[in-house]
Structure 1
């Protein structure tokens, strides 16, 4: 029997957080990149977290972002370790990275159980981005069920939330009725996220005092609280 993932991986140095969503267009890569960089910036007077990112999506969007980051900041100044893997190699690579880093963020492909399953199995927590629409919430059930089959806890993150508070409240109620757990913090529907990704950066680096950066910091803190 494997480790009890509800209390975290006790015999490893780092935590593995897999970002997964069967529905395409949910913002997985943007979320993974922002969580990764956000974790490196949450020092609070202590040594910064050491973070690795692992791209198991054949489309390679996270890798493309990282290459842009290397061009923008220089190879030695990205603040992140980057690896790729596919299939069952994702589980092995994620666990190997967790021995050397505080956090491993894994970006998975949509619409395929085969490639996402090993990354979900290796994770201490699955983060599932969902846009605040009923259709997106319905599609999310498949990802949650996959995580449950691997005995891995999963939480939703509302992504691309419009400024209409009523819609957000309706979605929060729908999520509560569904029984899915979600993080209290969310990310808004802001062009700053896409613009920063195009530069190989994140909103905390392009506009550290902006609303988008504050949302990322709140989300990272909520993630840390959930991981205990």
Structure 2
């Protein structure tokens, strides 16, 4: 099922700690600032990181009497059905209903997936128009996509996440549906031109056309991302004086990186040609 006329953007990676929620919330707020109605869905009923992030944002706005852009948000709670099959049917129906409801008022729906290969996460990937996969800049984090022979950069096998994506793509094609557009975003990039960074660049640029993903420029490693969650703020909120986010060179560079990502997502979705003015 496609969510009406809304584009579904899934932020997914089986590996934890890749920055999925940070990317999801910045996509939601960045697209909202372009005047695009945005919905968001949190599939991680245990951590609820995206839900907590947006709850903090709502409370911060109320306490400071400030209006900031906010997506129309939903959290999908797990089914309480006794049998596994019944629970899966219920969860799938919930996902379908939430996507359909958000499609009534939103042009883009951002879905934040938990780590692991859970049933709901796979179902969300099956409904994606665009998949954004944040990838920490290390071969440990690349392993779920592609595994290499020890001590070399010769591909050995697809990683677990890539195999799941391959299965999802095959299911979509067999059902007569087009494959999703896949964007891999390098995250927590070092500011140094070290050997790991050079090796990752060479390998990712080589495998991108083979595996079928767009390689986004990426985000640098910056402390400020760790400080925004408890206020519910994003780097796009730095022009609001009450946020007390200090506008410096590093922040401007980070905003530009995020604006570039949103521009790539918009072009892939073919919904807007403009770039956010960072």
Establish whether TM, by shorter chain, passes 0.5. Answer: yes
1:1-228 matches, within 5 Å, as: 12-42=4-34, 48-58=35-45, 59-74=47-62, 77-85=68-76, 86=78, 87-88=91-92, 89-140=94-145, 141-151=159-169, 152-153=179-180, 154-166=182-194, 167-178=196-207, 179-180=210-211, 181-206=213-238, 207=245, 210-228=252-270
Distance 1:94 1:183 in 2: 27
- Computed over aligned residues only, the root mean square deviation of the Cα atoms, in angstroms, reads 2.2
User: Where does structure 2 lack aligned partners over 5 or more consecutive residues?
Assistant: 79-90, 146-158, 170-178, 239-244, 271-278
Given the superposition, is the C-alpha separation of residues 182 and 172 from structure 1 closer, same or farther in structure 2, using an over 3 Å criterion?
Answer: farther
Q: Between Structure 1 and Structure 2, whose CA radius of gyration is higher?
A: 2
How many angstroms does 1:77 deviate by? 4.6
Distance 1:92 1:194 in 2: 33
Cα contact 2:144–2:162 (8 A) shared by 1: no
Cα deviation 1:205-227 (Å, max 9, x = unaligned): 13576221111111100111222
User: Where does structure 1 lack aligned partners over 5 or more consecutive residues?
Assistant: 3-8, 43-47
TM-score normalised over the length of structure 2:
0.70
Given the superposition, is the C-alpha separation of residues 226 and 183 from structure 1 closer, same or farther in structure 2, using an over 3 Å criterion?
Answer: farther
How many angstroms does 1:19 deviate by? 0.6
How many angstroms does 1:161 deviate by? 1.1
How many angstroms does 1:98 deviate by? 2.4
Cα deviation 1:152-185 (Å, max 9, x = unaligned): 4322111111112344342122123333323333
How many angstroms does 1:78 deviate by? 4.3
TM-score normalised over the length of structure 1:
0.85
How many angstroms does 1:33 deviate by? 0.5
Given the superposition, is the C-alpha separation of residues 227 and 148 from structure 1 closer, same or farther in structure 2, using an over 3 Å criterion?
Answer: farther
